[in-house]
């Protein structure tokens, strides 16, 4: 077989890798970055339950995974990028579904990324008389960094 399948180039998992804890997720890691992924692979990679991914498909028309026989979903790399961004906006940045829908409607993925960059813009310098406020802001920055570290995928 010389052509590349819709699912990309997958190297078979040798039996010894399965017994060493490689499992099916080891095969996923060997897929080409441009390969399509199943809903279970995406759910595991993003740490988002499959039912949530299906729900998001109903709420975000920009998500259009390829559906094959039996309703099996295959996500393109751009779908996965969008899902990752939606998850970040909902779970990390605290947006509501309606808020994310509005961002996507107004500017697509570029608008969502621009909103994220605006959130990460540096704070303007405060005058010296704002030292109490500066101390509070520094403490909030430490808390935000700790929360971000806790929510990072492991």
Distance CA 81, CA 71 (A): 22
Q: Are residues 50 and 86 in the same domain?
A: yes
Q: Whole-angstrom Cα distance, residue 13 to residue 43?
A: 20
Residue 85 lies in a domain: yes
Structural domain count, the chain: 2
CA distances from residue 28 to 37, 39, 53 in whole angstroms, order as listed: 8, 12, 18
User: The tokens of 146 are what?
Assistant: 């700790």
User: Do 52 and 2 share a structural domain?
Assistant: no
Statement to judge: residues 9 and 56 lie in one domain: no
Reading the chain (154 residues) residue by residue, the pLDDT tens digits are: 444 444 444 444 454 444 444 445 554 456 787 889 999 999 999 999 999 999 999 999 999 999 888 889 999 999 999 999 999 999 999 999 999 999 988 876 565 555 555 555 555 554 556 677 778 888 888 888 888 888 777 6
How far apart are alpha carbons 83 and 120 in whole angstroms? 20
Among the residues of the chain, which ranges form H helices? Answer: 15-19, 23-29, 39-46, 50-59, 77-87, 97-119, 131-151
Q: Are 100 and 113 in contact (CB under 8 A)?
A: no
Q: Note whether residue 6 is domain-resident.
A: yes
Please name the residue that has the structure tokens 């509070």.
136
One domain, residues 6 and 57: no
Tell me, yes or no, whether 108 and 146 share the same domain. yes
Angle between helices 77-87 and 50-59 (to 10 degrees): 90
Structural domain range at position 109: 36-118+130-151
């Amino acid at each position: 077989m010389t052509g590349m399948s819709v699912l990309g180039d997958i190297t078979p998992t040798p039996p010894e890798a399965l017994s060493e804890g490689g499992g099916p997720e080891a095969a996923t890691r060997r897929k080409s970055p441009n390969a399509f992924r199943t809903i279970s692979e995406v759910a595991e990679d993003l740490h988002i339950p499959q039912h949530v991914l299906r729900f998001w498909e109903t709420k975000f028309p920009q998500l259009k995974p390829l559906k094959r026989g039996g309703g099996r979903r295959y996500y393109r790399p751009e779908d996965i990028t969008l899902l990752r961004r939606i998850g970040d906006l909902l779970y990390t940045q605290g947006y509501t579904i309606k808020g994310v829908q509005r961002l996507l409607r107004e500017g697509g993925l570029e608008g969502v990324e621009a909103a994220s960059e605006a959130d990460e813009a540096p704070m303007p310098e405060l005058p010296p008389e704002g030292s109490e406020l500066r101390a509070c802001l520094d403490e909030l920055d430490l808390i935000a960094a700790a929360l971000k570290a806790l929510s990072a995928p492991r």
